[in-house]
Structure 1
Amino acid sequence: MGTIYQEAPPIPQDLKVSIHQSSMVFPSKETQRKSLFLSNIDKVLNFDVETVHFFESHKDFPTADIVAHKLNKALADALVPYDFFAGRLKLNSDTGRLEIDCNAAGAGFVVASSEYKLDDIGDLVYPNPAFAQLVHKTKDFLQPGDQPLCVFQLTSFKCGSFAIGISTSHTTFDGLSFKTFLENLAALAANKSLAVTPCHDRQLLAARSPPRVSFPHPELLNLGDLAVTGTESGVFEASSENLDFKIFHLSSDDIAGLKEKAKDTGGRPSAGRITGFNVVTAHVWRCKALSVGDDPNRSSTILYAVDIRSKLEPPLPKSYAGNAVLTAYATAKCRELEEGALSRLVEMVTEGATRMTNEYARSAIDWGELHNGFPNGEVLVSSWWRLGFAKVEYPWGKPKYSCPVVYHRKDIILLFPPIDEDGDGGVNVLAALPPQEMEKFQKLFYQFLN
C-alpha cells in the first residue's frame, strides 16, 4: 500500500530559460484610485506565492506569441474588476496598517523560452527546484523599488508546449479566490464575461470595535513574546539544513483503508467526521511528530487551514476575493500519537475545524488587531489537493499540471493532486526533512498505513 517516488529522478537542474521581453500590463479601462483595506488575515500573509501551470501544445495556438498576446489582453481586462491586482502595497501612515494602493501601476508580464521540450524536464509531479526559473521574481521588476503584486511569465518549450508561471502576493488571494481569479482570467481570454463577479469588501473581515478575544489562541504566536523568549520563528521559515525531498503517493484505496481504520473506535462513540483530508492529515501528523526525537511526553501541534466563508454569521460570499482562511490546530503528546487509535487522531483534527465557529473566527481576527503575530505549531499541512487549478479551462486547454514552486521548509507538509486529477482519486504527500528524520518518517508512513 502506498508508493514512493524516487528521491531524485533524472531531472535537469537548469531549464536554460532565456527572458525575451519584460513589460507592464495595465487595466484595459480606467479604474478608480483608492486604498483597499487589508484584513488581519491578509496582512499576516505578506509574502509571495509562486505557481506553475504547464500546458501541452494546442493546434489553435501554434506559437507562444499567440498565447502571450491573448493572455496579455485577458490580464489587462482582468485588472479592471480586480483593480487591486494592479496596485501596490503601502503602509498607511495614519493608521499604521498595510493597505493596497489601487493606483493602476500594473502587473508584470514576462515572455521567455526554454531550450528543452516539456517531456525533457522530467516528472512534473516531482518538486524540481529548477521550476523556480519559470516564475519571475517580483522584486524591482522594471524599475528600482517597484514591486508589482503579480507577475506572469510565459515560458515556451521547444515542442510547442508552454508554462505560465505566476507570482502573487498572498495578501491578494487565498487558494479559493485565486482559483476564481484564474477562472475569470480564462473566461476573459475566451472573450466571455466573468465566470464569477468577485466581492472586494474586505471590511467584512475587519476586527470588531473594540476587539474581543474570547478564546485562547495557542495556534497564534505573538511576536512580542517571541522577542522575549528568543523562540525560533516557526513553520514559515526556510531551512538551511540539508533536506531530503520525497513524495508519498496515497491511492484512493489507501485513503479508503485509512478511513476504515478510523472507524474503529474501540466501542466508544465517534466524534470525528471521517473525510479524506482528515485521515490523511492525522496520518501525516503522527508520522511527522514521531520522526523528531524520542520523547513520548513531548507535545506536538499540527496546523491546517480552514475556509471560514461558510463559518461566519452571516456567511461571506463564496466570491469573496481575499484571504478567508484561518489556522485550525490539534495538539497531542507523542505517546498518544504513537499508541492511540487513528480514530482519536482523526477526531482531534476534526475538532480543530469544528472549533472554527463564527465567534472563534472573530476572536482570532480580533487577536490579530491586538498582537503582531502569525500561526504557531510544529508542523503545517498545506493542502493544494482539491483547489482544482488544473481544472480551469483556457482557450488553449486545461493545464497538464499545476503546482506550487517548492522551497526548503521542513515543517510544512504539502498535499497536492496527482497529475491526473480525475484518475485514482489519490493524493501526493510531499515531505522535506533532514535525512535521519526522513528515514524514520518513511518507515512510520508505511507502518501506520498497513
Structure 2
Amino acid sequence: MSHSRSMATFSNIPLTFTVRRCKPEFVAPARPTPCEQKVLSDIDDQASFRFHVPFVHFYRNEPSMEGKHPAEVIRTALAETLVLYYPFAGRLREGANGKLIVDCNGEGVLFIKADADVTLEQFGDALQPPFPCFDELLFDVPGSQGILNCPLLLIQVTQLKCGGFIFAIRLNHIICDGLGLKQFLSNVAAMARGEATHLIPPVWERHLLDARDPPRVTCTHHEYDQVEASLPLDNLVQRSFFFGPAQVSLLRRLLPLHLRRCTKFELLTAFIWRCRSLAINLQPHEEVRMLCAVNVNSKMKPPLPQGYYGNAFVFPAAITTVKNLGENPLGYALELVKQVKASSSMEYMKSVASLMVIRGKRLYFPNVIGSFFLSDLTKAGLEDVDFGWGKAVFAGIAKAVGVISLFVQARNKKGEVGTSVTICLPAPAMERFAQELDKMLKQQPIEDNKSKSNRILSAM
C-alpha cells in the first residue's frame, strides 16, 4: 500500500487529501481466451492515433451497495468482460511494413485499487476538466505509457470516505475510440450489476475500414498537410469553458436566420475556432486549420455492425486565414464547419485508409498552434455507465490531450446541463481567448425580418 498527499483547487475550493493505493496488478480474462493475432484497420493504426487518452467518472454513494468496495466489484466484472473483449487484455506488436496487430496473449490490463480521505462533495458542485491532481486519481505506472508491448488499459478505482468513488481509465487510442470505450465499459457495468444478459457482443471485423485493394486516394486530405510552425507550441495551460442553454441561445442569435438550424456542436465549434484563431497572435494572412472528428458509421452502406468497437472516425480539415475569420461574421466560420462535416463520407474514409497504406507511418496531423483539433463526446453516453452505484455525476475526458480539445457534457454551479470545452493554449493566448469569448458573447444579435418589422410597426 502506497500513500500520497495531494493539494488541489476544485471549483475555486482549496482541497487537500491523501490517496492510499494498493500495488498495481494485472487483471486477466476470468477464463481462457483465444491466443491469436488480430490485425487492426488502416484507420486504427495511423501514426496520429498512437497516444493514450485519460477519462474519469465520479460516482455518488449508493446505500444499497454498502459494504462493497467498488474496486473489488469492478475488478471481478472486468475479468469476466475480458473473456469476450479479450483483445483489450493483449499487447500491440508491429508487423510487416509497420502494420499494427494485437497479440491476444491474455496478459491483462493494469488495475489499481485505492482509497482517499475526501468526499465527493468536497470536489465542488461543478465538475469539469481539467482535474487537478489527476495523477493521484490515476497513478502513472512506470513503463506503462508506451504504445507497443504495453497494457492497452490502465484503471484506478478510488473509493471516497462518503461511499462514492472515482473511476479513472487511460486508453490506448489505437484499440478503439470514445464510442468503443463506452461499449466496453457498458459491458463491464452490466457484469458488475449482475446483468450478463444485457451485454453487447463485440465485433472485431476491422477489415471493414481497410483501404481498397489496390489503395486509391480519391479525396484531398489537408488534415495531414505538413505545416511549418510559425510560433512555438510550449508552456501550455488548460482551462474549461462552460456553455449552457443561455450562451448557446445567444450565439444562435448572432447568426442569420437561415443558419440557425445548425447543431450545437457546429455552432460552438465555429465560435471557439474563431475566438481561438484571433487569440494566438498569428499574422492576418497566416492560415489556420480546424480539424473536426466526424464519425463515419452512419454514412457507411451498410453501416458498421452493432458491436464494432474500433476507431470509426476521420478528421477532415477546414482552412482559412486569421483575417477571414476576424473580418467575417460568425456565420462564415459556421459554414466552413458544416462543409467539412458534409465532406465526411464513406468515400472519404476509404480515401484516408488508402493514404495510410500508401504514405502511412510518415503522416501526422499538424501539431502547430494554428491547428485546432476537436472531438465531441457529449453524445457518447459515458455518464450512463452504471456499475451499481447509479449513473455518474460526471463522466468524460479528464484533460485535454496536447492541442486536442474535447466537448463533454457537464453541469455548472446552477445545475444546468451544458457543454464543457477544454482548451489548451500558451498562458498569454489563453487570456486573449477568454477575452475574445466574452467580447463575442456581448455582441448585438442579428434581427430577423419578422422581428424587425414588428419593432418598426410598434414604433408607429
Distance in 2 between residues matched to 1:233 and 1:209, nearest whole Å = 39
Match of 1:216 in 2: 220
Q: Which moved more, 1:105-114 or 1:18-27?
A: 18-27
Q: Is the 8 A contact 2:129 2:398 kept in 1?
A: no
- Cα distance change on mapping 1:365 and 1:422 into 2, 3 Å: farther
Distance in 2 between residues matched to 1:385 and 1:233, nearest whole Å = 33
Displacement after TM superposition at 1:420 (Å): 7.3
Match of 1:3 in 2: none
Aligned pairs (5 A) from 1:11-410: 11-12=14-15, 15-44=17-46, 45-63=49-67, 65=69, 67-92=70-95, 94-122=96-124, 123-137=126-140, 139-140=142-143, 147-192=150-195, 193-221=197-225, 231=228, 240-241=234-235, 243=237, 245-264=238-257, 274-293=262-281, 295-371=283-359, 372=361, 373-376=363-366, 378-406=371-399, 409=402
CA shift digits 1:255-308 (9 cap, x unpaired) = 12322332346xxxx6x9611000000000000001122522221111110001
Q: Is the 8 A contact 1:391 1:399 kept in 2?
A: yes
TM normalised by structure 1 equals 0.86
Q: Which moved more, 1:428-437 or 1:171-180?
A: 428-437
Displacement after TM superposition at 1:233 (Å): 12
What is the identity, as a one-letter code, of the residue corresponding to 1:35?
Answer: Q
Displacement after TM superposition at 1:127 (Å): 1.8
Match of 1:414 in 2: 406
Q: What's the RMSD between the two structures over aligned residues?
A: 2.7
What is the identity, as a one-letter code, of the residue corresponding to 1:103?
Answer: N
- In the alignment of these two chains, the number of paired residues is 422
- Cα distance change on mapping 1:48 and 1:435 into 2, 3 Å: closer
Distance in 2 between residues matched to 1:446 and 1:125, nearest whole Å = 19
Describe the SS at the equivalent of 1:417.
strand
Distance in 2 between residues matched to 1:47 and 1:264, nearest whole Å = 41
Gaps of 5+ in 2: 1-8, 443-460
Distance in 2 between residues matched to 1:407 and 1:56, nearest whole Å = 25
Q: Which moved more, 1:147-156 or 1:20-29?
A: 20-29
Distance in 2 between residues matched to 1:330 and 1:136, nearest whole Å = 37
Describe the SS at the equivalent of 1:41.
coil
Displacement after TM superposition at 1:183 (Å): 1.4
Q: Is the 8 A contact 2:129 2:397 kept in 1?
A: no
Describe the SS at the equivalent of 2:139.
coil
Q: Is the 8 A contact 1:136 1:167 kept in 2?
A: no
- Cα distance change on mapping 1:198 and 1:423 into 2, 3 Å: farther
Describe the SS at the equivalent of 2:12.
coil
Q: Is the 8 A contact 1:273 1:350 kept in 2?
A: no
Displacement after TM superposition at 1:444 (Å): 1.2
Which portions of structure 1, spanning 4 or more consecutive aligned residues, are displaced by more than 6 angstroms? none
Displacement after TM superposition at 1:116 (Å): 2.3
Displacement after TM superposition at 1:63 (Å): 4.1
CA shift digits 1:62-113 (9 cap, x unpaired) = 2453x22221121111101111011011112x45311110111112221111
What is the identity, as a one-letter code, of the residue corresponding to 2:293?
Answer: A
Match of 2:439 in 1: 447
What is the identity, as a one-letter code, of the residue corresponding to 1:161?
Answer: G
Displacement after TM superposition at 1:353 (Å): 0.9
What is the identity, as a one-letter code, of the residue corresponding to 1:395?
Answer: G
Q: Is the 8 A contact 1:137 1:167 kept in 2?
A: no
- Cα distance change on mapping 1:131 and 1:64 into 2, 3 Å: farther
CA shift digits 1:398-442 (9 cap, x unpaired) = 111123232573x33332221379964421222232232122211
Distance in 2 between residues matched to 1:139 and 1:97, nearest whole Å = 26
Q: Is the 8 A contact 1:417 1:427 kept in 2?
A: yes
Q: Is the 8 A contact 2:10 2:123 kept in 1?
A: no
Distance in 1 between residues matched to 2:290 and 2:139, nearest whole Å = 32
What is the identity, as a one-letter code, of the residue corresponding to 1:83?
Answer: Y
Describe the SS at the equivalent of 2:253.
helix
Distance in 2 between residues matched to 1:201 and 1:47, nearest whole Å = 22
Describe the SS at the equivalent of 2:43.
helix
Distance in 2 between residues matched to 1:294 and 1:99, nearest whole Å = 41
